[in-house]
Amino acid sequence: MTTALPNTITEGSYLDMGHVTRLRNKMKDINQHVVTHSGWNVIGWFKQGHITEQGTDLQIASETTTLHIVRLCPTLPLTDDISNKKFNVNSMIE
């Protein structure tokens, strides 16, 4: 279940590096937990861009490929409690 961000969170809340650090730490904890237990299923798409050579209609494949992740979920359902790894969005309220 997704919980919406509280209306009382301000732009300053997002700029507080303490919040950012705590959120990143929680994300690292959850990532490590999933990697240790089952790994991730990554669903998305990628596309190699094309560049039109100046002065011609010739299209050349770009050296970079852009990855667009649409969904990221654990390979197996989580069977243990991870509530201690969740980030409390209400902690961002000033």
Q: Helix, strand, or coil here: 29? A: helix
In the chain, which stretches have pLDDT less than 70?
1-16, 92-94
pLDDT tens-digit profile of 54-72?
A: 888 888 888 888 889 999 9
26 phi, psi to nearest 5 deg: -65, -40
For the entire predicted model, the pTM comes to: 0.56
The single-letter DSSP state of residue 80 is: S
Q: Is there a contact between 86 and 1 (Cβ–Cβ < 8 Å)?
A: no
Domain ranges of the chain: 40-76
pLDDT at 20: 80
The single-letter DSSP state of residue 57 is: S
